[in-house]
Structure 1
Amino acid sequence: MKKVTWTPEDMPALDDKIVVITGANSGLGLESARLMAARGAQIIMACRSQEKASAAKQDILDQVPDAKLDIMALDLASQKSIQLFAARFKQSYPRLDILMNNAGLMAPPLSHTEDGFEMQFGTNHLGHFALTGLLLDHLEKADAPRIITVSSVAHNVGNIYFDNLNAEKRYSRWFFYGQSKLANLVFARDLHRRLKAAGSKIQSFAVHPGYSDTNLQSTSGVNIFNRFFAQPQHMGCYPSLYAATSDEVRSGEYYGPNGHFELGGYPAKARVRKRAQKARLSQKLWKVSEEMTGVAYLSGL
C-alpha cells in the first residue's frame, strides 16, 4: 500500500550533503537541523546570536552525539554580515547542497535594519534574497542543489507596498509581515523560473509550516493561542524537510501542511494566492530587491 503521509523517517541518508540553515538556533530551524544531522548531513547553523546557537548545538549533540555541526555568524538584518558569511562559507566548504532560508521575524514593533530597511521585509525577504544570490555559484557546484524558502499562510493577506517598503508613510506590523511572506513566496517561484530558463540544475521551492508552536510568535503576541490551535513544533518543519530531501517534489512548487486551512498536517502542495502568480509583480520585486541589496544575480537570471 502506498504511504499517504510523509515524515522525516522517509528522509534518505544525507551523509554527503552540506546544508546551510538560517535561524538554526531555535524553532523550525533547530528542528530541521536536528533531524537532518541525524541523517548524517553537515549542518551550518547560520545564526545571529552565537550564544543561542552554541546552546542549540549542544542540545542537538545531546540527542545526536555524532552530529556534524558548524556555527557561523549571520545577521540577515545586515548586508555586511551577509557578505561576510558568504565569503567565509565559500572559504570553508567546497560546495553547498541545500540552502534553507528559514529565519524570520513575525510582527514586531516598527524598527529598521542596519541598512535602513523595514525590519521584516529587510530580514525575511531582502536578507535571504542577498544570501541566496551570493551563494548561488557554490550551489551550482553541487550535484543536485536545492533552495528552500520559508513563506507563510500570511502571504494571503500580504501586498508589496512598493511606495512604502521601508514604512516611511505608515506601518502595520501584521500587513508588513504578510508583505515579507508574500515576497518570500514570489521570490522562490520566480527564482525557479529564472534558474530553469538559464539551464541551471538548482531547484527552488517555497514552503510554509502552517500554524506551529514555536517561539516566533513571541514578538507578535499570538503565542497565547498556540496551546489550543497550533500543531507541534516538530511537524512545522516537515514541509521544509520534504522539499529539501524528497524525490516527490517539483521545483517551483509550494508545499505546506495538508490539514484544514493548511494549518497543520503532513506535507503536500499548498495553495498559491493569485497575486503571487503575477509576472509583473515578480519582475518588479526582483528588480527592487537587486537595487536595495546591491546583489546582482548571475548573468542570465
Structure 2
Amino acid sequence: MRPWTDVPPQQGRRFVITGGNGGIGFQAARILGSRGAEVVLACRSVEKGEAAARQVPGYDQGRVAVRRLDVADIASVRAFAADFLEDYDGLDVLVNNAGVLGAPLGFTVDGVETHFATNHLGHFALANLLLPAIRERVVVTSSREHRRGVLDLDDLAWERRPYKVFDAYAQSKLADLLFMTELQQRLTEAGSPVRAVGAHPGASSTNITSGSGNPVLTWIGVNGSKLVSMPAWRGALCTVYAATMDIPGDTYIGPHGRLELHGWPAVARRGKAAEDKVLGRRLWDVSEKLSGVSFPL
C-alpha cells in the first residue's frame, strides 16, 4: 500500500481534540495545524496544554487554543461544552481522543469505573452536548483491543468479575465502537449531515499508560513501545484520515499492515461484538442514565 501523508488543506475548519497535549492527539493537532486548521486542545491540565499548543503550527497566528476538560468528570464536560458553545460559532470536527490504559480499579467523582468513564462515557456526553454545533463529523478513537472486549452492562463496577486492567480497557474500547455505530444510526434517522466515524492508531508509541499509577506498567508502556511501535505521528495519521477524508459514516480506520499494528490508514476490521446493534442501543441507554446527557437532535 502506498504511504498516505497527503492531508487536504484545512483552512477555515475548526477541530476540537480531547487529550490534545500528548500522544496521538498532539500529533494529530500538529498535522492539522500544519494544513491550516484551527485547533482547540481540550486538556485536563491547561499548563500542559499551553506547552503543547506552542508546538502546534498556527499557534503564532492565533489558530490554536487550549480549554480545560476532564473527560472523566461529567461536570467538567458540561462546563467545557457550555463555555465552548458560548464562545464559538460552531466546529467542524470533534475528535474524541483522550484515553487511559492500565488504571487500577477505581471510580470517578461520578462513581463510574475509570476506563469506562474516561474512554467512553465522558466522550459520549461531550459529543451529544456539542452536537448542535458540529457541522461535519465526530471521530471516535477505539483500539485493536476492542475485539477482545466483553461489555457487561450489568457489571460496569466489576463487582461480579475479577478486575483486570486490560479487560477494562478492552471493554471501554468496544463501547467506543458501539457508540460510533449507534450515533451514526441516530444521525441518519434525524436527517443530519453529520457523520460518526472512528479510528485506531495500531501499535503507536504514546504515553497512554502514564495514568496507570503502576510505575512498572508506565515504564513498559512508554519505553517498551518505542521498540515495537510506530512513531506517534504515524499512528495519528489514522485519526487525521478519519477526520479529513471523504468517508461514509460508521467507517472505522486503522493501519493497513499485518494485525493492524503498523501501516498507513485503511478501513479496519471490527469484532463481532462491535456490530451488535442491540448491545449498542442498550449501551446508549445506560450511557444516558449515567451521564444525564441525551441525543439532542
1:153 is aligned to 2:149: no
1:290 is aligned to 2:282: no
Secondary structure of 1:250 counterpart:
coil
Percent identity for Structure 1 against Structure 2: 40
1:39 is aligned to 2:30: no
- Is contact 2:129–2:296 with CA below 8 Å preserved after alignment? no
**Structure 1 residue aligned with 2:263, among 258, 262, 265?**
265
Instruction: Write the letter of the residue equivalent to 2:168.
Output: F
Instruction: Write the letter of the residue equivalent to 1:168.
Output: E
Instruction: Write the letter of the residue equivalent to 1:48.
Output: R
Equivalent in the alignment of 1:104? 99
**Structure 2 residue aligned with 1:183, among 175, 179, 195?**
175
- Is contact 1:60–1:67 with CA below 8 Å preserved after alignment? no
Following the alignment from structure 1 to structure 2, what is the Cα–Cα distance between the partners of residues 166 and 88?
Answer: 31
Cα deviations by residue, 1:82-110 (Å, 9 ceiling, x for unpaired): 00000100111101100000000012111
1:245 is aligned to 2:260: no
CA drift at 1:77? 1.0
Q: CA 1:42 to 1:278, structure 2 compared with 1: closer, same or farther past 3 Å? A: same
CA drift at 1:290? 0.6
CA drift at 1:166? 2.1
Following the alignment from structure 1 to structure 2, what is the Cα–Cα distance between the partners of residues 239 and 271?
Answer: 13
**Structure 1 residue aligned with 2:196, among 193, 197, 204?**
204
Equivalent in the alignment of 2:272? 274
Secondary structure of 2:191 counterpart:
coil
Instruction: Write the letter of the residue equivalent to 2:125.
Output: A
1:165 is aligned to 2:165: no
CA drift at 1:32? 0.7
1:68 is aligned to 2:63: yes
Secondary structure of 1:196 counterpart:
helix
CA drift at 1:148? 0.5
Equivalent in the alignment of 2:84? 89
Instruction: Write the letter of the residue equivalent to 2:151.
Output: I
Following the alignment from structure 1 to structure 2, what is the Cα–Cα distance between the partners of residues 190 and 149?
Answer: 12
CA drift at 1:171? 1.6
CA drift at 1:64? 6.3
Give the TM-score taking structure 2 as reference length: 0.93
Equivalent in the alignment of 2:232? 233
Number of matched pairs:
289
CA drift at 1:30? 0.5
Give the TM-score taking structure 1 as reference length: 0.92
Cα deviations by residue, 1:251-290 (Å, 9 ceiling, x for unpaired): 1111100011000100000001011101111111011011
CA drift at 1:217? 3.1
- Is contact 1:40–1:67 with CA below 8 Å preserved after alignment? no
Equivalent in the alignment of 2:184? 192
CA drift at 1:4? 3.4
- Is contact 2:198–2:250 with CA below 8 Å preserved after alignment? yes
**Structure 1 residue aligned with 2:120, among 118, 125, 138?**
125
The residue correspondences of 1:218-229 to structure 2 (distance < 5 A) are 218=210, 219=212, 220-221=217-218, 222-223=220-221, 224-229=223-228
Which residues of structure 2 form unaligned runs of 5+? none
Equivalent in the alignment of 1:4? 2
Instruction: Write the letter of the residue equivalent to 1:174.
Output: F
